[in-house]
């Protein structure tokens, strides 16, 4: 990240042992404390967003899901009534 592009600032309160551990890890990677925190927080943010944006299903669950998509059940009376109401309202 270029220094000129950094326009936002944030703070974090750390326990003394957390700060020492993070500083040690940053030194081991040859990064400043700030660069280490930014890099790893950004990586964690990307992973968290990806986890919430997609599903991972076990084989059995995937098979049930795909089967339901490919073979949907017939619409029941409540669904038919809802479709009718929607079409009436959408026509207005």
Tens place of pLDDT per residue across the chain (92 aa): 555 677 888 999 999 999 999 999 999 999 999 999 999 999 999 999 999 998 889 999 999 999 999 999 999 999 999 999 999 999 98
* Alpha-carbon span 76 to 87, nearest angstrom: 17
* Alpha-carbon span 3 to 75, nearest angstrom: 58
Spell out the residues 6+ positions from residue 68 whose beta carbon is closer than 8 angstroms to its own.
none
Q: Is the pTM higher than 0.85? A: no
Q: Pick the closest to residue 71 from 81, 63, 61 (CA basis).
A: 63
């Amino acid at each position: 990240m270029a220094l000129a592009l950094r326009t936002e600032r944030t703070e974090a309160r750390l326990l003394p042992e957390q700060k020492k551990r993070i500083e040690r890890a940053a030194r081991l990677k040859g990064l400043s404390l700030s660069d280490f925190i930014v890099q790893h927080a950004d990586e964690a943010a990307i992973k968290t967003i990806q986890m919430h944006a997609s599903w991972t299903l076990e084989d059995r669950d995937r098979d049930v899901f795909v089967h339901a998509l490919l073979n949907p059940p017939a619409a029941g009376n409540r669904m038919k009534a809802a479709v009718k109401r929607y079409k009436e309202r959408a026509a207005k």
